[in-house]
Amino acid sequence: MGGFTYFSATVLVALAAWAYIPSWYQVTPGGRSGSNTLDAARLEILASYDKFYTNATEWDSPVQPAHDEANNKDAAERYFTLITDFFEYGWGDAFHMAPLKPGWSFLRSMGEVEKHFGQLIGLRPGARVADLGMGIGGPMRRLVEFTGSYITGVTICKYQVNRAKKITSELTEWNQERLSYTVGDYNELPAEIFPENAFDAAYFMESLSHAEDRTLPLSQAKKIVKPGHLVGGWQWMLKPSFNYSDSVHMDLKRGMEYGGGLRNLNKPEARHKEWNDAGMEVLLSYDMGDDFLQRGWVGWWIAVTQGHDLPSMLTSSYYGRRLTMATVRILEMVGIAEAGTYRTAQMLEHCGFSSATSGEMGIFTPAWVTIGIVPPDGQAVNQGPIATSPDGLNQILANHPYYHQVAGF
């Protein structure tokens, strides 16, 4: 009887491995029948990426990333080429974090918060909208379906555009005609695709913090959005309680930046200055994650600690990430996964651990929302009161002198 039980268990493990390994391989680079492949060996890309972060792989290091003249553009491109398939495996097609609703799935919760964000910046049927830092386009596809807007997305990463186009090719014509993807730098948008004063809104969904100086991409958003219209940022942000003099806080900041392809995470006041320097008045600045906690949702960090539902427990949670790391290590050792796949998982663990710990400590959020308005051409920024809730934003917009009130727009 014992031998039979042992034999049965062995067969079950073998069958599970037979089913699981090919499934996992489908989300590794080139695994989708060769439809999307890396442009260099993974180890080469890792070596190139690590150069942007001194002591990149070390914990307990006082060294912070040095200034980058390219505003982190090249590091972000290499980062997303490396991690896109890992993110899609662990998070689906939305590369962001969000509060989670008890009783709802992880993916449904994420999609609902995306809709909330879209409402804040006034997306509506027929509106022309720019997604600046689109990832593989998951949120913009849902916003198109929800609002009926026409959204043009841009990312520095060709690998992501290829994946977005592949996914969209399987959607209906109605969706396809409202979605457009392009490879480009949001620090200097291609004018033929993003002309001046042509968009009804623009947004950054967890993409803005990949720039060291947010003024440059924000200036581009201000340039392409019509005067009197809104620009939104769903951003990674150090909360007011973050202490720059605390070595633990700074180590967690460095872990998030290295593992997340980020640069120069700062606090809301410093971020407001970047929006003003880009030529926009800030109308709203608040932690959307905290706002949803008051509605009865749970914190975004649950997804990277214990997991919110079974799929997230197996992929993005603390133990899910360890399962992934163990799996890729074995696959790499036997030659199925490309060399450097395990190192990529380790790099992402810097971000997963650091962000989860910082979230539980209350010193960081990936869901800080800032909404700014584009003034009439030639008008200087006149910074007025800043709302700290969606209700407050609506009150400001109701009395704003040029919200949707600029002649010709």
DSSP assignment of 228-272 equals EEEEEEEEEEE-TT--TT-HHHHHHHHHHHHHHT------HHHHH
Sign, CA torsion 164/165/171/177 = positive
Residue 282 half-sphere exposure, CB side, CA atoms within 13 Å? 23
What CA–CA distance (Å, rounded) separates 12 from 41? 35
Q: What is the DSSP letter of 101?
A: -
**How confident is residue 5, by pLDDT bands cut at 50, 70 and 90?**
low
On whether the CB atoms of residues 363 and 289 are closer than 8 A, the answer is no
Q: Answer whether residue 4 shows pLDDT above 60.
A: no
Residue 348 corresponds to which tokens in the numbers above? 């992402």
Can you give the pTM of this predicted structure?
0.89
Mean pLDDT of 324-350: 84
**In the chain, how long is the greatest CA-to-CA distance?**
85
**How confident is residue 342, by pLDDT bands cut at 50, 70 and 90?**
confident
What CA–CA distance (Å, rounded) separates 343 from 391? 45
Q: Answer whether residue 285 shows pLDDT above 60.
A: yes
Residues 6+ apart with CB under 8 A from 175: 141, 144, 145, 168
Q: Contacts from 342-345 at CB under 8 Å and sequence distance 24+?
A: 343/42, 343/43, 343/46, 344/42, 344/46, 344/82, 344/83, 344/86, 345/86, 345/321
Tell me phi and psi for residue 293, to 5 degrees: -60, -40
Minimum mean pLDDT among 57-66, 101-110, 190-199, 271-280: which range? 57-66
How much is the pLDDT for 8? 66
Residue 267 half-sphere exposure, CB side, CA atoms within 13 Å? 8
